[in-house]
Amino acid sequence: MKPGNHTLSASEFLLLGLCEQQEQQPLIFGIFLSMYLLTVLGNTVIILAIVSDPHLHTPMYFFLANFSLTDLCLASTTVPRMLVNIQAHRNTITYAGCLSQIYFFLWFIGLDVFLLAVMAYDRLVAICHPLRYTLVMTPRYCTALLVMSLTLTQSYSLTHTSLLAQLSFCTDNIIPHFFCELLPLMKLSCSNTYANQCVLMYWGGALTILIPLLIIISYVRIVAAIVRVPSASGKWKAFSTCGSHLSAVCLFYVSAIGVYFIPSSADSASKDRVAAVMYAVVTPMLNPFIYSLRNKDMKSALGRLLSRRALRPP
């Protein structure tokens, strides 16, 4: 697909997608449709299992249900639009649609980061201060943590989107991506993007450095507390309560390190697309399997949910 073959108005952008070869589009459509359906099914089942099972009405699973809902929304921000574009053979997106996609993508990806940190804090309190856990992690406090995460990430997303709305864009409105992402859009601007870069540096630093550091500190304290547990069964039980969350954290951040912190290659656009697929598609798809396969309580709840569905009369 040659950029020069497309005439675009100033009010729309051309998304080059994951692959510019038309003969590979049906394969890409099938793969991403399957991944999206798995994402929707897996996260919906997790949410239903937590909501329907009184045994899981605890702070840990309250945050997990919201994490699953965020993953579902994150995947729904980008993948359905890409599938529609492939089927319609039209890869343009309006200016308003592009800003809307960036707004929701930044909101949900930021919320994922904050919820991972909140879940690490929940495990820290549960393991290091078990006698005070119910006093600290009250329903009101858990709700306040969720509202704080929603507010901060929405402010981050809204700030970026508002600054983008003030930029002017050149006639070459071609985005080498399968959805509207912040950095490629900033590169297309003919305006001064200093304010955008400052917000990206400070907010991005908080999301990619400060919050992961807080998660690491939490797990250092958790491991130190577990080591002091005298019995092997007690250590295993403590490790098992945070194993699924630690796996989700590793999946999320290892993909970022593997893509963004490896030496730059010649094809930076392809590297950016790989990063976006990891964040927006692969991670939301795998998280339900991590929490259902590595967590005995979740497996029991899923079994009870499926049993109730099977016994329900038609």
CA gap 249, 69 in Å, rounded: 17
Whichever domain contains 147, its CATH number is 1.20.1070.10
In a domain, 10, yes or no: no
In a domain, 179, yes or no: yes
In a domain, 274, yes or no: yes
User: How does 54-70 read in b/e, with b if 16+ C-beta sit within 10 Å?
Assistant: eebebbbbbbbbbbbbb
Q: Which of 149, 131, 145, 161 has its CA nearest to residue 59?
A: 145
pLDDT tens for 198-250 read: 888 888 777 778 888 999 999 999 999 888 888 887 778 777 778 888 888 88
* Per-residue pLDDT of the chain in tens (314 residues, 90 and over written 9): 444 444 444 578 888 888 777 788 899 999 999 999 999 999 999 999 999 888 889 999 999 999 999 999 999 999 999 999 899 888 889 989 999 999 999 999 999 999 999 999 999 999 999 899 999 999 999 999 999 999 999 999 999 999 999 888 876 788 888 899 888 888 888 888 888 888 888 887 777 788 889 999 999 999 998 888 888 877 787 777 788 888 888 888 877 665 555 554 545 667 777 777 887 899 999 998 888 776 777 878 777 877 776 656 55
In a domain, 25, yes or no: yes
Tokens 């005298």 appear where?
230
In a domain, 310, yes or no: no
Count up the domains in the chain and report the number: 1
In a domain, 1, yes or no: no
How many Cβ atoms from other residues are within 10 Å of residue 235's Cβ?
14
Per the structure, the complete domain to which residue 176 belongs is given by 15-301
Q: What does pTM read for this prediction?
A: 0.88
Q: Do the bridges between strand 174-175 and strand 12-15 make them parallel or antiparallel, or are there none, so unpaired? A: parallel
